[in-house]
Amino acid sequence: MGKVQVMPKELTLEELASLDYEVYVKLFDQSTYSLKNGIALSLLTQKEHPVSALYNLIKNIKGKDKQILAKRKSKFTKLLKTSAFYDQSPYIPRKRTKNHFPMVDQRQSIHPLNDLKHYQKSLKASRAKTVSVPLQDLPFESLEKCREYLIAHGCETVLFYATKQGFSVVADPSTPLEALL
């Protein structure tokens, strides 16, 4: 239940009478009425009144979830709608989108060194490192022979990079490449 903002739009008597869900009306004399389909029922005396008889005395209107749907500052001002009036839906609850990311507690990421289970979980969640091996350290004469061998042994991707020392080989998965070392 966050704060609601008063909008500069007036809630007319026709709109109030046409509300098809139950709302609670509080008057300036502190009495409360239940309003449904244009009929106001007193919660204290259980008497029915037409909405038109109470319209000028209404202080605020609340929905079932206790949010203020319309509000009047004083007896002589207009009955103004709030932002919750547009959010109110009797059948479908409105899903609110969050524009912020949840805060991460930094203390949860620091585990004691003797707690092996948490340490293993953090290793599983970490990003896989690519192993780069210089082509001179491998027993191949050309790039094509190296590529054919690694693909034949289960590597899905084989990439070659030109470095200052020569060519480097990166394979995914890197187990056949590590077995050659």
For residues 105 and 36, the answer to whether their CB atoms sit within 8 Å is: no
**What pLDDT does residue 37 have?**
83
CB 70, CB 83: distance < 8 Å? no
Cβ-based burial of 11 (10 A; exposed 0-12, middle 13-18, buried ≥19): buried
pLDDT the model gives residue 109: 53
> What is the pLDDT tens value at each position of the chain, 181 positions in all?
568 888 889 999 988 888 878 899 999 999 999 998 889 999 999 999 999 999 999 999 998 888 899 999 998 999 999 988 877 644 444 556 666 555 554 555 554 544 555 555 555 555 555 678 888 888 888 889 988 999 999 888 888 888 888 888 888 888 888 888 7
Q: Which amino acid is at 144?
A: E
Q: Which one, of 177, 138, 126, 140, lies nearest residue 156 by Cα?
A: 177
DSSP string across the chain: -----EEEEE--HHHHHT--S-EEEEETTS-EEEEETTEEEETTT--EEEHHHHGGGEEEEE-TTS-EEEE-SSTTS--EEEHHHHH--SSSPPPPPP-SPPPP-GGGG---TT-HHHHHHHHHHSPPPPPEEEGGGSS-SSHHHHHHHHHHTT-SEEEEEE-SSSEEEEEES-HHHHHH-
> What's residue 179's pLDDT?
84
pTM metric for this prediction? 0.47
Residue 8 near residue 19, CB atoms below 8 Å: no
Predicted local confidence at residue 31, as pLDDT:
93
Q: For position 80, what pLDDT does the model report?
A: 93
Cα–Cα distance, 24 to 39 (Å, whole number): 11
**pLDDT of amino acid 91:** 40
CA of residue 117 relative to chain centroid, distance: 31
Cβ–Cβ under 8 Å, residues 24 and 88: no
Per-residue pLDDT at 117: 55
Residue among 21, 39, 23, 41 nearest 31 (CA): 41
